[in-house]
A and B are shown apart, each in its own frame.
Chain A
């Protein structure tokens, strides 16, 4: 397996374990400190991944494309900033992931959220998790495009599900902070996976449906109207780039068809 992919998987694993900690924690000892430690580890691991990618000979064209598409995504997020909002950026991540592959989708998701932080108020403790969640969304789009037909309906379905997934991930992150530890909806330290999962689902339903559903709907709508022509445009660009010489195409660790 290629090195960057492996590092990416490990980083994702770390992110998942940081998110799932409340669900599995026994709540004893110094367990309170653990989420904060994890929160520190996630950005460090992202930096490590970025180091690995930087030095794995990203070619100039992929990098420029990453930067510019991230700018497009960040521009889409500007009118709707914040931890919760109706963000029409996700359909772009799905389209890019579908055309350029999982690796590119992963990097684009993370980079887009990072760049948009510059415009929407700065770096907050939620940012590394937003980056991871968006990265997973983009990577998933790449895998989805490999195995399923990229028709309107399928794209819309994937986008809607992916947006709900993003909302759930961010909600999972927010759960300990929002519900604390002294409500009946909080996670119960030592309560076991099923109890806590149950509680989380109710928490999710009560808090973020107001944001998640419209977001999923908007992105699905956008991708069903604009998705196909956009994919065609990107594919045309990709093909021309591949033709542009063996060195440019082969050196790219991220661009895969």
Chain B
């Protein structure tokens, strides 16, 4: 039986899946687990990119991840706190005066320190890969489609901006050509700034035409008063924020019970979610093609949760699985349960549609001009 999946996965499912992977990456320092998580995220991201996916999102996030690793290692080498271990090489020591915070530079660089720094960087790197995968799988454009209708104005503002950028680039080109026709300089600062004001003026005029078109098509028709986020809702939302923040701060006080902090946090988040979702009920605006959180989306979400659950269970069985410490100078532990969790993450491939063959190729600017003008 061939499984052809046609139903689009809800963007939230992909982002939650990626969040599971990212959160697991952040709490583990086991390099093998990290590599596994990174591979899972990258593979699924590459193979299931959505049509509107930001091209090269994965690539650029990977670059940033590598850069973070590099910075961490560099900092460790130059500024690291020295702990005993297998010394690889030594840098000349330098103690900065007290006005420079008494920072000490240099000193012996141990292998353990380097590995620890690299691992710390990789944690972030893998989390970033997960972010990159999320962007490729459910791009920001897709996320706009699931914004609640109470945020319709935000969605319109973003749409308008996205639609305008190519027009802007065309307008800049027109301006540049006009300057050439007048025999004026186009390069350098003076050329640049002389083009800027007319382009902005053009945008302002477009803004007038655009807003007239929006209003003529009913923007704001549902009536401001009925849309208003009622005061109780707003208070609920704000208190939710306050509670969650307080809970986060309380985490730093071990004298207070952890349960208190956690319950504050959970309550806070719940309140915020309620406001964001519930605030849309009174809005009269509807959605043309609503995205449903269907069975496949649930399957993807469960695969992500499976990764987290699997690794946490493995941690409880094999202690120190996730929290590997390079200073112990032992091989990191792995278990078959880890492996199974990774496979669980990869299973998202089964439930998601292939990148459609009908994907729109974005034409370069010249081709817009050729076809449109």
Contact = CB atoms under 8 A, between A and B. Distances in A.
Do A and B touch, yes or no (CB under 8 Å, in the complex)? yes
Contacts of A50: 151, 153-154
Interface string B281-302: 0010000000000000000000
A182 B241 contact: no
B215 A60 contact: yes
B103 A199 contact: yes
Interface stretch (A34-42, A138-146, A148-156, A160-168): A34-42
Contact of A121 (B61, B80, B234, B241): B61
Interface in B72-104: 72, 75-76, 79-81, 83, 100-101, 103-104
B201 interface: yes
A64 B272 CA distance: 28
Contact of A122 (B54, B117, B207, B265): B54
B313 interface: no
Given A30-B251, A54-B153, A121-B61, A68 B245 contact: no
B244 A37 contact: yes
B275 A237 contact: no
A27 interface: yes
A184 B103 contact: yes
Chain B residues touching A, majority SS: helix
B357 interface: no
Given A37-B265, A75-B169, A14 B80 contact: no
A213 interface: no
B17 to A, nearest CB: 15
A232 to B, nearest CB: 9
Interface string A101-144: 00000000001001101110111110000000000000000000
Contacts of A51: 148, 150-151, 229, 237, 275-276, 279
A119 B60 CA distance: 12
Contact of A63 (B116, B148, B193, B211): B211
Interface in B131-176: 131-132, 134-136, 139-141, 143, 148, 150-154, 156-162, 164-165, 168-169, 172
Contacts of B203: 68-69, 71-72
Nearest to B152: A54
B317 interface: no
Contacts of B251: 29-31, 33-34, 37
B76 A180 contact: yes
A71 B237 CA distance: 30
A37 B252 contact: no
A47 B161 contact: no
Contact of B140 (A21, A122, A226): A122
Chain A residues touching B, majority SS: helix
A29 B253 contact: yes
Contacts of A193: none
A179 B158 contact: no
A28 B135 contact: no
Interface of B: 23, 26, 54, 56-57, 60-61, 64, 68, 71-72, 75-76, 79-81, 83, 100-101, 103-104, 113, 116-117, 120, 124, 127-128, 131-132, 134-136, 139-141, 143, 148, 150-154, 156-162, 164-165, 168-169, 172, 189, 193, 196-197, 199-201, 203-204, 206-208, 210-212, 214-215, 219-220, 224, 227-229, 234, 237-238, 241, 244-245, 247-249, 251-254, 258, 261, 265, 268-269, 272, 275-276, 279, 283
Nearest 3 Cβ contacts at the A-B interface: A67-B160, A122-B135, A57-B224
